[in-house]
Structure 1
Amino acid sequence: MMNALVLQSDFGLEDGAVSAMKGVAHSVSKVIPIYDNTHDIPPFDIWAASYRLWQTVEYWPKGTVFVSVVDPGVGSNRKSVVVKTSNNQYVVTPDNGTLTHIDKKIGIQEKREIDEHLNRLPKSGASHTFHGRDIYAYTGARLAAGVIKFDEVGQLVSEEEIVSLPFQEAELTEGTIKGAIDILDVRFGNLWTNISREMFQQLQINYGDNVEISIENDSRQVYNNMMTFGRSFASIHTGEPIVYVNSLDNMAIAINQGSFAKAYNIGTGASWRITIRKNKA
C-alpha cells in the first residue's frame, strides 16, 4: 500500500536541497505521493521542528510517513531513527529533540534506529553532511512505498532513550495561569502559547472580558497590559491586542492587522513565559 510522504526541514527553497530529497524519494517510487509540511523552519531550530510536526501530524491519515530534517548535529554520533506514533503514523528524523512534542502530546508506540547499511542511498557513503537526502528521504520513501516494513528499518530502541528538549506544561493556581510561548504564527507575528482552552475556561472569562497578560523572558518582564478576550480579530479595532483561541485549541495573543512579536521583540521557547489573570475590576 502506498502512503503519503510529508517533508519538513530548515533548508528553505533557495537551492536544490529539497528537490534532491524529492528526487531520491521518486527514485524509490515514481508514483509516491510527496507533500511539503514546511521548509522554513528557522535554521537549527529543533524546538520549532518539534512543534511543527505536532501541529500537523494528527490531521494526516494513518500510515503517513513524515521526514523532518533540522539537524545541526549531522555527521555526529546522534542517532537516526523512525518512530511509530500512537496514531500509527511514522516520523523519520535525527533523534535530537525533534520528537519532543510527538512524545509528550501524541505518544510513541515504538522507536527504531535506522540501519544505515540497509537503509541508505546507494553510493552515498562518503557524504556525512546531507543525511536528509541520503538517509531520511530514502528511508522515508521506502517505508511509505511499502518497499520495507517498519521492523526492517533497524533495531528497536527503548522509548526512554528518546532525546527530549526541556518541556513544561502550563499550570493554573489561584486564578492565575502560567505557561510558555511555544511558537509564533510566523507570517502574522501572533504568539501561540501552551495554555489550553480548557484551562483558560477555568478562569470563567467570557468573550469581551478584559484579561491581564504578562510576558517574561527568563526573569525580565517584556510586556504587561490588559487586553480583550475575543472570538476573532473582528472583535477588536485595528491595532488593538487580543487574546483568542487558535487553530490548535490553545490560547494565543495577537495585534489585529499587526505583529505582536515584532512590536515587543518577543521570541519562543521555554525561557519565554506568559501569565494570564482575570481582570478583577
Structure 2
Amino acid sequence: MNNSLVLQTDFGLSDGAVSAMYGVAISVQPDLSIFDLTHDIPQFNIWEASYRLYQTISYWPEGTVFVSVVDPGVGTERLSVVARTKSNHYIVTPDNGTLTHIDHHIGIVEARVIDEEVNRLPKSGESYTFHGRDVYVYTGARLASAKIPYENVGPMVKVDELVRLSIHDAIMKNQQINGTIDILDVRFGNLWTNIHKELLRGTGIQYGDQLEVTITHNGNQVYRNNMSFGRSFADSRLGEPIVYVNSVDNLAIALNQGSFAQAYNIRTGSNWKIHLTYSQQEEGEK
C-alpha cells in the first residue's frame, strides 16, 4: 500500500458526511494522504460510480486504495467487499455493480468480504445507515496505512460471483459503428461513448469526414444528424456538433461551447445507444 486513500460518494458536500469520513480515516492514521475523486455522483447512480472509477484509477500509483460509496442498498444483505485489480489497486465498496467497468476493462484478480467483526469503526455497531463512515472508510484507511494486510480484510469471495451491471462492447457492422453513451462530461454536457478510437481502424474515417449520428433510447430515436469528425472543438463552428476522441480515447459528441446533453435531453447508460454511419473511402480517394 502507498498510504493514499481516494474517496468517491454520492453524498455531496452540503453536510458533514464526507467530513466524518475524513475524520475516521485520520483517526486511523494521522499522516494518511486523502484525496477526493468526486462526491457529486448522482444519488444512487451505481453506473456512474462504476464508470468514474474506471476513468480515474489507472492514473494512480499501484497500491492506492479507493473507497466508493454509492449504496442504495445500505443496511440490506448486499455484501461489502474489497477488490484487488490486475493493476494492483484496491477498491472498498458495496457489492452492487460498482466494480463493473473496472472488471470489464482492467480486471479483478481477487475480492474479499469485509469482516465487520474486525473491520468496523469501534462503538458504531448500532448504526446500519452509514457504512461509508463505519465500515468502508475505516477499512480503507486501515488497508492504505498498512494497519492490516489485504488478507485480513475478510474471507475471499469468487470474482465471478460479484454483482455486475449490464455492459456491452461497441461493434462495427455494415459501415455502422454501434455503441452506448456511457457517461457525460458533466460540466460541459458532452456525450462520452464506449466506442474506442481503435475501432475506427480500417474504416477509412479521417478527420474532417462527415458521420451520420443517430441516438436512441430504449429503441426509440431521439436524435439524428450529420456532423464532422474533428481533432478538437476548434474544428467546428460555434454551436455546431462535432465527433471527437476524448481523454480516455473513446469517441465523444459535443456542441461547440454548448451542452449537447441539455440541448437534446440525452442521458447515459446501457439503454442509450449511439450509431455512427460512415462511407467507406477507397484507397487514394482522399
**What amino acid is aligned across from residue 167 of structure 1 in structure 2?**
I
Question: Counterparts of 1:26-45 in structure 2 under 5 Å?
Answer: 26-45=26-45
Question: Counterparts of 1:116-135 in structure 2 under 5 Å?
Answer: 116-135=116-135
Partner residue of 2:199? Answer: 199
Q: Give distance in 1, aligned partners of 2:159 and 2:35.
A: 28
1:27-76 deviation per Cα after TM superposition (whole angstroms, max 9, x unaligned): 00000000000000000000000000000000000000000000000000
Asked if structure 2 preserves the Cα contact closer than 8 Å seen for 1:212 and 1:279, the reply is: no
Deviation (angstroms), 1:203 = 2.0
Partner residue of 2:240? Answer: 240
Question: Does the alignment pair 1:165 with 2:165?
Answer: yes
Partner residue of 1:272? Answer: 272
Partner residue of 1:255? Answer: 255
Q: Give distance in 1, aligned partners of 2:48 and 2:200.
A: 24
Deviation (angstroms), 1:173 = 1.1
1:251-277 deviation per Cα after TM superposition (whole angstroms, max 9, x unaligned): 000000000000000000011000001
TM-score when normalising by structure 2 = 0.97
Partner residue of 1:10? Answer: 10
Partner SS, residue 76 of structure 2: coil
Asked if structure 1 preserves the Cα contact closer than 8 Å seen for 2:205 and 2:280, the reply is: no
1:191-218 deviation per Cα after TM superposition (whole angstroms, max 9, x unaligned): 0000000002332111111111000001
Q: Give distance in 1, aligned partners of 2:136 and 2:48.
A: 19
Q: Give distance in 1, aligned partners of 2:23 and 2:211.
A: 51
Deviation (angstroms), 1:279 = 4.3
Deviates more, 1:15-24 or 1:193-202: 193-202
**What amino acid is aligned across from residue 90 of structure 2 in structure 1?**
Y
Asked if structure 2 preserves the Cα contact closer than 8 Å seen for 1:5 and 1:33, the reply is: yes
Q: Give distance in 2, aligned partners of 1:244 and 1:201.
A: 15
Partner SS, residue 157 of structure 2: coil
Asked if structure 2 preserves the Cα contact closer than 8 Å seen for 1:2 and 1:32, the reply is: no
Corresponding pairs, count: 281
Partner residue of 2:85? Answer: 85
Unaligned stretches of 5+ residues in structure 2: 282-286
Q: Give distance in 1, aligned partners of 2:201 and 2:251.
A: 10
Amino-acid identity (%)? 62
Partner residue of 2:217? Answer: 217
Unaligned stretches of 5+ residues in structure 1: none
Q: Give distance in 2, aligned partners of 1:180 and 1:240.
A: 22
Structural RMSD (CA): 1.0
1:146-176 deviation per Cα after TM superposition (whole angstroms, max 9, x unaligned): 0000000000001111100011111111211
**What amino acid is aligned across from residue 141 of structure 1 in structure 2?**
A
Asked if structure 1 preserves the Cα contact closer than 8 Å seen for 2:175 and 2:280, the reply is: no
Partner residue of 1:67? Answer: 67
Partner SS, residue 15 of structure 2: coil
Q: Give distance in 2, aligned partners of 1:45 and 1:201.
A: 33
Deviation (angstroms), 1:280 = 6.7
Question: Counterparts of 1:107-186 in structure 2 under 5 Å?
Answer: 107-186=107-186
Question: Does the alignment pair 1:54 with 2:72?
Answer: no
Deviation (angstroms), 1:3 = 2.1
Q: Give distance in 1, aligned partners of 2:2 and 2:86.
A: 20
* CA pair 177-2 structure 1, distance change in 2 beyond 3 A: closer
Q: Give distance in 1, aligned partners of 2:3 and 2:111.
A: 19
Q: Give distance in 1, aligned partners of 2:222 and 2:280.
A: 22
Partner SS, residue 136 of structure 2: helix
Partner SS, residue 243 of structure 1: strand
Q: Give distance in 2, aligned partners of 1:105 and 1:188.
A: 25
Asked if structure 2 preserves the Cα contact closer than 8 Å seen for 1:82 and 1:114, the reply is: yes
Partner residue of 2:284? Answer: none
Partner residue of 1:106? Answer: 106
Partner SS, residue 137 of structure 2: helix
Q: Give distance in 2, aligned partners of 1:201 and 1:190.
A: 23
Partner SS, residue 110 of structure 2: strand
